[in-house]
Amino acid sequence: MKSVAIVFRHAPFGATSGREGLDLAMLSASFEQQVSLIFTDEAVLHLIGGQTPEQAGAKDYLSALKALPLYDIDTVLVCSDSMQLLGLKASELNIEAEVVSADVITKTLQAVDEVFVF
Amino acid sequence: MVNSFEFNGQQIEVDHQGYLKNVADWQESMAPVIAATENIELTEQHWEVIRFVRNFYLEYKTSPAIRVLVKAIGQSLGADKGNSKYLYTLFPVGPAKQATKIAGLPKPAKCL
Amino acid sequence: MILHHIQTSVTTDNALATCLRFIHPSDSIILAGDAVNCLLQMLWQQRLASVNVFILQDDVHARGLQQHIETIATRMSPELFHIIDYSSFVEQSLKHNKVITW
């Protein structure tokens, strides 16, 4: 079993990268890879509640985030610097996720076998 | 080329593998028609799984891969049903592929 | 020990900024494509001064920046600032535990 970290760094909807990253995450997890997700920069916006992707002309891929525990993806890290920069609070996150300092993300990137950035 | 079949006087669009193009076109009475194309005669056990994947899709907007289907069915319908042997007995070609098709859902991208 | 691969301009993408937030002291950065342009800015010279940096020679030449980069190199630490060709890039990818393309 390999450990994989998938980093999301782009805002939702503007690019398809978020959806592609999530597809890779769920695909890897269904092949029993140990998957961690890391949200940084404007990608942290994927995690806040009350979004209506269809209104922005995007497919609703955010609903799939709620299924992460079923895929045994239990490590979801959110960059606290990015949260702070955007004025977001941990209580606004729509799914189970840990808001962590950059240091924790650095350690995670070092520890895993592979890192993919979306 | 658009594939379609007629159901109750309406043309229902499907992809080249027979999966419905529009999730909203589906209704329960359509399931036996799609099942017949897969050589499956629906029983209450089939229906349990079909309703399950349909609800899974409506909640998460994604069709479950087989591993996830097994796990989630185990959690909600009991361990005796949450195993791939049971699901393959119902859907011999592949539970994720066939159950989603009969439930009017897109083919799971993440499915073998 | 990670090789961070950056290929986009700092003016259109914050790949380099994000990478620098999460970089480990044992890591290196390789600047390729439009990413090499950042070296022209004092701000980025400073931000990269303490990091082991590789710069892809072909991308510098292609942009006619050879003179500029050589001048900048004199202000950077010679142990940390390396202009390399593709085969050294491959060598570095193998030397590091993994490559992250931002």
CATH code for the domain of C46 = 3.40.1260.10
B30 in Cβ contact with B4 (< 8 Å): no
pLDDT at residue number B103: 95
Count CB neighbours of A11 within 10 A: 15
Q: What is the mean pLDDT of residues C25-51?
A: 97
Task: Indicate whether B110 belongs to any domain.
Answer: no
A16 in Cβ contact with A60 (< 8 Å): no
Which domains can be identified in chain A, with CATH numbers? 3-117 (3.40.1260.10)
pLDDT of B112 over the 80 cut? no
Task: Indicate whether B64 belongs to any domain.
Answer: yes
User: Looking at residue B20, what DSSP letter applies?
Assistant: B
Q: What is the mean pLDDT of residues C41-46?
A: 96
Q: What is the mean pLDDT of residues A42-61?
A: 92
Q: What angle do CA C94, C97, C99 make, to 5 degrees?
A: 75
pLDDT at residue number B104: 94
Looking at the complex, report in whole angstroms how far the Cα of residue A35 sits from the nearest Cα belonging to chain B: 15
C27 in Cβ contact with C53 (< 8 Å): no
Q: If pLDDT is split at 50, 70 and 90, which confidence band does A87 have?
A: very high
Largest Cα–Cα distance in chain B? 43
Q: At what angle do helices B44-60 and B66-77 cross, to 10 degrees?
A: 110
Is A109 in Cβ contact with C22 (below 8 Å)?
Answer: yes
Q: If pLDDT is split at 50, 70 and 90, which confidence band does B111 have?
A: very low
Per-chain mean pLDDT for chain C? 97
pTM of the model: 0.88
Number of helices (H) and strands (E) in chain B: give both, helices first: 5, 2
Q: Which residues of chain B make contact with A61, given a CB cutoff of 8 A?
A: 61-62
Choose, from B42, B65, B77, B111, the residue flagged as catalytic.
Answer: B111
**Percent residues over pLDDT 70 in chain C:** 100
What is the domain count for chain B?
1
Task: Indicate whether B109 belongs to any domain.
Answer: no
Instruction: Name the token pair of A34.
Output: 């140990």
Domain encompassing residue B96 = 3-102
Lowest mean pLDDT among A98-102, B14-18, B44-48: B14-18
Q: How far apart are CA A33 and CA A8, in angstroms?
A: 18
Q: What is the mean pLDDT of residues B80-106?
A: 91
> Which residues, including other chains, have CB under 8 Å from residue B1's CB and lie 6 or more apart?
none
Lowest mean pLDDT among A95-104, B75-84, C51-60: B75-84
What is the domain count for chain C?
1
Per-chain mean pLDDT for chain A? 94
Task: Indicate whether B56 belongs to any domain.
Answer: yes
A12: left (phi over 0), alpha (psi -120 to 50) or beta: beta
Instruction: Name the token pair of C66.
Output: 């050879």
Q: B111 catalytic, yes or no?
A: yes
CATH number at residue B59: 1.10.10.370
Q: Which residues of chain A make contact with C102, given a CB cutoff of 8 A?
A: 9, 117
Distances (CA, A) of C60 to C14, C28, C31, C38: 20, 18, 10, 11
The residue among B103, B98, B75 whose CA lies nearest residue B87 is: B98
Q: C96 or B2: whose pLDDT is higher?
A: C96
Q: If pLDDT is split at 50, 70 and 90, which confidence band does B1 have?
A: low
The partner residue sitting opposite B110, judged by closest CB among A30, A60, A66, is: A30
Is A115 in Cβ contact with C100 (below 8 Å)?
Answer: yes
pLDDT at residue number B108: 74
Domain encompassing residue C82 = 2-101
Note the ipTM here.
0.91
